[in-house]
């Protein structure tokens, strides 16, 4: 396979994952806004979580719900807006068209066409839920076509690696922005505010149901941290993503017959960072832990580019 | 009054070709009279008469939807807002009888063989010039002639691996070659997708009509390219398609062909010369390519040998090529054979190399570089089609009969400034085939581009080709960049 194709697949699936994550953050933000009286502060934290606050501040002076949603969903000046990343995903899909089945290509192409239509104008509050549903559905279609029609070979592995690097990054950033509400000291407070914050975290990863099922009705910060960082049953947890990365990198090593520096980085991520307990993480500092994790996944992504000759 | 030949309804009488016939039953409802239904359309006509017009209109929309989803688009240069557009597809097929096709195929094969012989000669001994059949200026002062190719013999002796011969028809048995596309003819993906779409939408039509299949074109293309692999090849030949990238107008087709052949689609920056071979950067290092089907023009192929500004090519690929390390398809320098100035000599070229009279006719052509011809052309601008020698895509041409006085005057100035840059031809009364309009069937002018593969094993012509249709009433311009559409083209089994 061409190095360029590997890179194109990796980015195509990073972007698709990002579109879905962004939609989910907007959904969580909107939900909070509707259940609280003054909620604009929350949008700052949503923008921060999506890593688009800086660009937003260049364009707007104040953070308002409408502008934040517009910036995240459809502003072409925001390279991580849903519309921008879906277009980028589709451009990458065109680039790697020969590596995709017709079904996958058509689902991405249709995703782009449908979202371009749905996001042609500012989305008003009334239409927001429907638009968010469309985004989630369209990315589910792509995933379905992928699972149902693609060979399990290097093409598939690069696509999966892109998905899980992006997802790990996204979950880590949610934790990074909200880590303070998960600290053991916050537990004592137990105020209404904290409950809302905890719920936001779970909603941002579509996991309230999963959490209830696993840990019961009462959301407690220690369990939430455990769930999002170390629980391998949870498909958006850091441990789950890291394990999948190791799996797919392992298949690549098997197929190509060589282990590369990326494999060592992935091993370190799994064996050192994630083979631990939530207590140890709290002792060492949750914030520092997350920052470390973000650095490690970003280093892994950069090493992949080199090892598999994405660009040179 | 002009007579037009309609391929479904036959020769028209009555008013002018510009008038009416906007209905499914033209003879009953318009002032234009036709000879009568032509035999290849007999089955189709029966089907059509039984069809519900509303359903047909729905099917037309459905076809567009299929194309949009598949992403069969082309990019239009200089129009940022509409970067990707669909080429309109018309669901009424163009039908060619087996006998008509056989004659065409013989003519095409003869012409393509002559073109390859001509290319070999022109880059070696130039016998045709020594024999006085072609003036030396046609080569010496022609930018399409590549001195870098002198003395180079491409692997398998094949210059034009893929040719698209543009044909027009003016009557039952009158076909003319309008252009020989010997560089990198495009459009074959439309030929294939048009058929796929028709099969999906009207399966019943294909059970009633026995239509020769076109779907094995990619397989034949791959086989044909692999058969031209260079001596340096080890094992099964590695074929790749070279594209200028996703912003190129024909990118869809490049990816389509690479996909269907099961080969890599590469860009210049994926390639470099490694150990005397052209190699592509894979996830596991550089791998040599044996045959490169390039969809990049000569000029951009190699910044070391041609345009130094080019970022689309591969530095040094020409040196590898000359040393026999890679096959480039089509060979560099084939443009000299489809040059519009050379075109006027094609009947001589065919005769010179095959010893036979050309089966397919040339359109009579005035070379404006010649004083007598120029004088005639200037006197008759309003009747003629004047084309740039190196132009393509329907740009930079004058269609006298449909141009205003002002346009003609402006063109006259351009022509006088650089007469050598132009040729002129009479305005042919191109045949029509009905398209489906909102008001029913209506005749529109068409051309035909069959695709021809050349390998050391012989010449293969896919039965059918791309029919381009001028969607505007009366228009003769079929180019997709100028609002033309396409149709599925059927060649019937005997």
The 10s digit of each residue's pLDDT in A112-160 is: 999 999 999 999 989 999 999 999 999 999 999 999 999 999 999 999 9
Q: Decide if pLDDT at B77 tops 60.
A: no
Reported ipTM: the value is 0.86
Q: Which of residues 417-446 of B touch A (CB under 8 A)?
A: none
The pLDDT value given to residue B122: 97
Residue A50: its pLDDT value, please? 92
Query: Mind listing the pLDDT tens digit for each residue in B280-321?
Result: 999 999 999 999 999 999 999 999 989 888 889 999 999 999
Which residue from A minimizes the CA distance to B257?
A: A98
B212 Cβ contact list (under 8 Å, min separation 6): B463, B464, B490, B491, B492, B493
pLDDT at position B21:
43
> Helices marked H in B164-231 — which ranges?
188-201, 203-208, 217-226
Chain A positions touching B246 (Cβ under 8 A) are: 91, 94-95
| Contact yes or no for B270/B280 (Cβ under 8 A) | yes
Peptide bond into B330 cis (omega under 30): yes
**Could you give the CA distance from residue B106 to residue B461 in angstroms, rounded to a whole number?**
10
A230 has a pLDDT exceeding 90: yes
A154 touches chain B (CB under 8 A): yes
CB of B246 within 8 Å of a chain A CB? The answer is: yes
Cβ atoms B211, B51 nearer than 8 A: no
- Asked whether the predicted pLDDT for residue B431 surpasses 50, the reply is yes
pLDDT confidence band for B394 (50 / 70 / 90): low
Compute the distance between CA of residue A183 and CA of residue A199 in angstroms, rounded to an integer.
15
Contact present, B27 and B35 (Cβ < 8 Å): no
User: pLDDT exceeding 90 applies to what percent of chain B?
Assistant: 73
What confidence tier does B429 reach under pLDDT thresholds 50, 70, 90?
confident
Choose from B19-23, B46-50, B78-82 the range with maximum mean pLDDT. B46-50
DSSP letter, residue B31: S
Count of residues in chain A: 312
Q: For residue B492, give the DSSP letter.
A: B
Identify the pLDDT of residue B19. 40
Which residues, 6+ apart, have CB-to-CB distance to B248 below 8 Å?
A: B75, B254, B295
Assign B23 a pLDDT band (cuts: 50, 70, 90). very low
d(CA B5, CA B22): 16
Using a CB–CB cutoff of 8 Å, tell me whether B71 touches chain A: yes
Report the share of chain B in percent with pLDDT over 70.
93
CB pairs under 8 A between A and B: 57
pLDDT of residue A196: 79
Which is more confident, B260 or B249? B260
CA dist A83 and A81 (Å) reads 5
Q: What token pair was written down for A269?
A: 């991520």
CA distances to A10, A171, A214, A250, A302 from A244, rounded to whole Å, are: 14, 15, 21, 9, 18
CA triplet A267, A273, A277: central angle to 5 degrees? Answer: 130
Judged on CB neighbours under 10 Å (0-12, 13-18, 19+), B491 is: buried
Q: Over the Cα atoms of chain B, what is R_g?
A: 23
Q: What is the pLDDT of residue A236?
A: 95
pTM of the model: 0.90
pLDDT band at residue B80 using 50, 70 and 90 as cut-offs: very low
Instruction: Give the count of beta carbons closer than 10 Å to the beta carbon of residue A208.
Output: 14
A120 shares contact with chain B (CB less than 8 Å) = no
């Amino acid at each position: 396979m061409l190095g360029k194709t590997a890179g194109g697949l990796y980015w195509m699936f990073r972007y698709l994952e990002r579109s879905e994550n962004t939609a989910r953050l907007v959904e969580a933000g909107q939900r909070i806004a509707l259940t609280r009286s003054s909620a604009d502060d929350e949008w700052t934290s949503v923008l921060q979580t999506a890593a688009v606050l800086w660009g937003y501040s260049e364009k707007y002076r104040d953070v308002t719900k409408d502008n934040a949603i517009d910036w995240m969903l459809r502003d072409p000046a925001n390279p991580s807006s849903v519309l921008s990343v879906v277009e980028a995903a589709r451009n990458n899909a065109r680039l790697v068209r020969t590596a995709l089945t017709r079904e996958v290509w058509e689902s991405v192409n249709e995703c782009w066409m449908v979202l371009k239509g749905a996001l042609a104008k500012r989305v008003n509050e009334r239409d927001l839920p429907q638009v968010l549903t469309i985004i989630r559905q369209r990315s589910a279609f792509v995933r379905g076509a992928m699972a149902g029609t693609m060979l399990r070979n290097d093409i598939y592995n690069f696509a999966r690696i892109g998905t899980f690097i992006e997802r790990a990054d996204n979950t880590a950033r949610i934790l990074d922005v909200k880590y303070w509400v998960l600290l053991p000291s916050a537990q004592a407070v137990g105020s209404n505010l904290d409950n809302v914050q905890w719920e936001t975290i779970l909603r941002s990863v579509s996991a309230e149901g999963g959490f209830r099922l696993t840990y019961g009705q009462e959301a407690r910060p220690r369990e939430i941290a455990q769930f999002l960082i170390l629980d391998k049953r949870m498909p958006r947890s850091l441990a789950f993503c890291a394990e999948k990365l190791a799996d797919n990198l392992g298949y690549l090593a098997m197929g190509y017959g060589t282990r590369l520096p990326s494999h060592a980085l992935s091993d370190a991520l799994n064996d050192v960072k994630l083979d631990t307990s939530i207590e140890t993480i709290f002792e060492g500092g949750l914030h520092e832990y997350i920052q470390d994790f973000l650095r490690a996944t970003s280093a892994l992504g950069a090493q992949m580019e080199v090892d598999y000759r994405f660009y040179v | 009054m002009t007579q037009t030949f309609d391929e479904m309804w036959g020769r028209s009488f009555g008013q002018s070709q510009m008038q009416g016939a906007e209905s499914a039953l033209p003879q009953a409802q318009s002032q234009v009279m036709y000879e009568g239904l032509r035999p290849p359309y007999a089955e189709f006509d029966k089907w059509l008469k039984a069809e519900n017009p509303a359903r047909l209109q729905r099917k037309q929309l459905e076809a567009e939807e299929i194309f949009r989803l598949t992403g069969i688009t082309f990019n239009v240069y200089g129009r940022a807002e509409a970067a990707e557009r669909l080429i309109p597809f018309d669901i009424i097929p163009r039908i060619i009888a087996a006998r008509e096709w056989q004659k065409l195929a013989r003519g095409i094969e003869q012409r393509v063989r002559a073109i390859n012989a001509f290319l070999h000669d022109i880059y070696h001994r130039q016998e045709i010039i020594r024999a006085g059949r072609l003036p030396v200026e046609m080569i010496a002062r022609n930018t399409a002639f590549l001195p870098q190719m002198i003395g180079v013999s491409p692997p398998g002796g094949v210059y034009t691996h893929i040719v698209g011969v543009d044909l027009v028809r003016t009557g039952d048995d009158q076909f003319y070659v309008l252009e020989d596309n010997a560089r990198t003819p495009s459009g074959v993906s439309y030929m294939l997708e048009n058929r796929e779409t028709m099969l999906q939408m009207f399966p019943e039509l294909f059970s009633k009509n026995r239509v020769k299949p076109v779907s094995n074109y990619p397989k034949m293309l791959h086989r044909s390219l692999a058969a031209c692999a260079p001596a340096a090849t080890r094992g099964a030949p590695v074929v790749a398609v070279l594209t200028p990238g996703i912003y190129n107008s024909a990118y869809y087709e490049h990816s389509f062909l690479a996909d269907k052949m099961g080969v890599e689609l590469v860009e210049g920056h994926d390639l470099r010369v490694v150990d005397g071979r052209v190699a592509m950067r894979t996830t596991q290092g550089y791998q040599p390519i044996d045959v490169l089907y390039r969809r990049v023009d000569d000029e951009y192929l190699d910044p070391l040998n041609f345009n130094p500004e080019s970022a689309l090519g591969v530095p040094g690929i020409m040196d590898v090529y000359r040393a026999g390390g890679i096959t480039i398809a089509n060979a560099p320098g084939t443009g000299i054979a489809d040059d519009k100035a050379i075109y006027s000599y094609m009947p001589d070229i065919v005769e010179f190399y095959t010893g036979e009279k050309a089966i397919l006719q040339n359109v009579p052509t005035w070379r404006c570089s010649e004083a007598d011809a120029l004088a005639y052309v200037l006197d008759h601008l309003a009747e003629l089609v004047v084309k740039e020698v190196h132009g393509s895509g329907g740009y930079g041409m004058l269609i006298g009969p449909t141009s205003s006085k002002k346009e003609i005057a402006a063109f006259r100035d351009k022509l006088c400034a650089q007469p050598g840059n132009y040729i002129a031809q009479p305005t042919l009364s191109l045949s029509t085939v009905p398209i489906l309009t909102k008001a029913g069937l209506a005749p529109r002018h068409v051309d035909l581009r069959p695709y021809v593969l050349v390998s050391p094993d012989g010449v293969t012509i896919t039965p059918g080709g791309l029919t381009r249709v001028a969607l505007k009433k009366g228009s003769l311009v079929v180019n997709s960049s100028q609002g033309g559409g396409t149709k599925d083209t059927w060649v019937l089994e005997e």
